[in-house]
Structure 1
Amino acid sequence: MVVILRNGSGDEEIEKVEALSSRLGLSCHISKGAEKIVVGIIGDDRYTSVERFEALECVEQVVRVLKPFKLVSREFHGEDLNVEVGDVSIGNGKFAVMAGPCAVEDRSMIEESAAFLSEMGVRIIRGGAYKPRTSPYSFQGLGRKGLELLREAADRYGMKTVTEVTGEATLEAVSSLSDIVQIGARNAQNFQLIQRVASCGKPVLLKRGFMNTVEELLLSAEYIAYGGNMSIILCERGIRTFETSTRNTLDISAIPLIKMQSPLPIIADPSHASGRRDLIIPLSRAILAVGADGIEVEVHPRPESALSDSKQSLNFREFERLMQELKSLVDTRELVLT
């Protein structure tokens, strides 16, 4: 349940709610907004009477949250949340563009990519160092060396980085060298890893698993929030259906649906959703139109020679056209090239 305190409440009133929660075997999560203090009651509160909290003088309203996720629910946060990555903000009515190659291949390629993307105004560069590949014969990434090359290129051009953690063994390296830690589709319900990532102190980009429902995605986010980290960016990246003409199927309806249920920023990945570079621009237009907070897209200097995901990577000229089309669609929304 969610306990909303009266205007003017402070630490003394919060302590009263915490004391009652403790007596009932429950814990609290405090959210201090501009006008209201909201206390999330955490634990099995099915048999707890709402009246117990309503009896406190400092309580204005008690809302029972019926959804299995609470901390990332719309009921718990009245306003949309945004995630701060240094001086870059994701959410809050802006449209973020994260871009870069599927994998860091060598120094010259990632330097060339960073130089171009920086010139285009992009503030966050993506690039894989540890690659979870379906086939053991596919390029597996450069590992820590790839992380170092990505960090070096980003620092040279004043950019932030996002890269995927593939397991607990790679978490220390990724969290120490990347600004945003990405949990990929294959690990979307690896709860042991998710709990470790929650405590690493970095913003988390959580991708939807290709067989996950919206509720399952939000429950994975709940693990991160429960671990004390609310800097969560959700990502719709396509789900597996019976369609074979695309790599996955972009669930465009999931974006406004999640917006209704959760205040967390949500972006989409048209590259993995389609697996086809000729669909990335039209899908990106749709993603912007339904109210997403941004996109994560794959860009490579020479996609035809890319070591991974060549068919779904834009070249520089195609990415330039993508940015022009997105800018032409922006009306009252602010386009922030992150």
Structure 2
Amino acid sequence: MKRILEKIINDNRVWVKDGELASYIPELLNADKEALGICITTLDGEEYFAGDHNTKFTIQSISKVITLMLAICDNGKDYVFSKIGMEPTESAFNSITNLESNELKKPLNPMINAGAIAVVSMIDGENKEEKFNRILRFAMKITGNDSLSINEQVYLSEKATGDRNRALAYFMKSMDIMEGEVENILDVYFKQCSIEINCRDIARIGAMLANDGVLPWNNQRVLSREVTRIIKTIMVTCGMYDGSGNFAVHIGIPAKSGVGGGVMAAVPRRMGIGVFGPALDKKGNSIGGIKVLEELSRELDLSIF
């Protein structure tokens, strides 16, 4: 497996030159555009690595999967999806127009920014510190990494430049979708996106989902089968933003991307995959990471379709 992964990484490094770093969060411009790495965690707990797998990066929108898990556990799926839809979107992940123009009159899904911000408002906690600490502790649990923390520079950069997210949040507040104080919810959201991880961390989250909510390294159940089924389904339809359909056709794995360059994938009953490549395509997905996953899916016949 290691030889396969090393070959796939080397085959696809050429693609990173066609991507760009995320510029709307200035601190992310400090990433190495040419980095590309992968980790696979099997359901037997075996782990395989190649490329820049140890490089740390911020989790960004992959954190939306974590907060959706918590919100459903705290409130039940019916309540969560009374506030947020389950539908894919053709618009960008930070679109404002589709929030008002869609017939649902609520965020189309929890993987776009509007939906994810609304999800944070539903997580239990007396204040913003308690909400974020619950998110961080849960992230530690499902990665098996007790040393997770936020990248303070990225957090401050996101907070300073997050005006579009503020616009989305205040609009949702006016529509009674948001619960709690808007600025406090946004602070939690900016912090959750700034949690620093590596390929292994997100591969382990993928492995837990692939294992129907059971951690492969200690056999502890952390989510019900029903919640993991919901999460994986939404990852297939919405996890790669407005590139989700193309991803499903060519790769066919439940996955979630982040503009920090990560892609977390879950192959049901087989493995979790974490890929990192900060050079992004026009839809905000890792250009090298997608190519790596495409070749890996062909090589190992991973598509669920």
TM over 0.5: no
Q: Which has the higher helix share?
A: 2
Q: Which has the higher strand share?
A: 1
TM-score (norm: length of structure 1): 0.27
**Greater relative contact order (Cα < 8 A, sep 6+):** 2
TM-score (norm: length of structure 2): 0.29
